[in-house]
Structure 1
Amino acid sequence: MAEEQQGQGTNPPQEQPNEPLPRTYNQLLGTNNPTKTSWPELVGVTAEEAERKIKEDISGVEIQVVPPDSFVTADFRFKRVRLYVDESNKVIRTPIIG
């Protein structure tokens, strides 16, 4: 009778993943170094100074300078930082990754 019930109505054992799901931005990128995701200290500096500082913190990042009243896309990119600037080219919003 045990032979008849074997395989009927039972699910095979589920394989457990070897690694847990990523819980942080750094784990998602596969790095162990703590990486900044925002730069509130750059509000008020010029776009050139902000770009230099961000590139020191993250290599290979794409910097986009966004002039006043400009439109941007709503997509998210892990290697992009937008610098929203005013008429005098000073950063007016906290730069963040995305």
Structure 2
Amino acid sequence: MAGADPTRTSWPEVVGIPATPAVMKINHDRSDVAIEVLPDGTKVPKGFNAKRVRVFFDAKESQGLVVRTPVVG
């Protein structure tokens, strides 16, 4: 695994893996952001936040797999 990258803004490689390891990867790369873990389909307020990453997972799937690329915002 590569080292932390404070300029990183997206994590396409975590799509399809369980949410917990995805959060660990994002936190490793960007410990400066707050990570929100949400079931896919959750309504969220619009607006950009440079210190937030949302991880959407499949709540119907037993492993809670990430369903879309987490991005800063």
Give the shorter-chain TM-score range: 0.7 to 0.9
Give the CA deviation at 1:61: 1.3
Structure showing greater radius of gyration is 1
Q: Which has the higher helix share?
A: 1
TM-score by length of 1: 0.62
Deviations 1:30-55 (A, max 9, x none): xxx76110000000111110110001
Superposed displacement of residue 60, structure 1: 2.4
What percent identity do the matched residue pairs reach?
Answer: 47
SS in structure 2 of the partner of residue 81 of structure 1: strand
Greater relative contact order, per chain length (Cα 8 Å cut-off, separation 6+): 2
Determine the C-alpha separation between the residues in 2 that align with 1:35 and 1:51: 17
Give the Cα–Cα distance (whole angstroms) in 2 for the partners of residues 34 and 64 of structure 1.
Answer: 18
Matches of 2:6 and 2:28, distance apart in 1: 14
> How many residue pairs get matched?
66
CA distance in 2, matches of 1:59, 1:38: 14
Deviating more after overlay: 60-69 vs 40-49 = 60-69
- Greater share of residues in strand: 2
Which of structure 1's runs of 4+ aligned residues deviate more than 2 A?
none
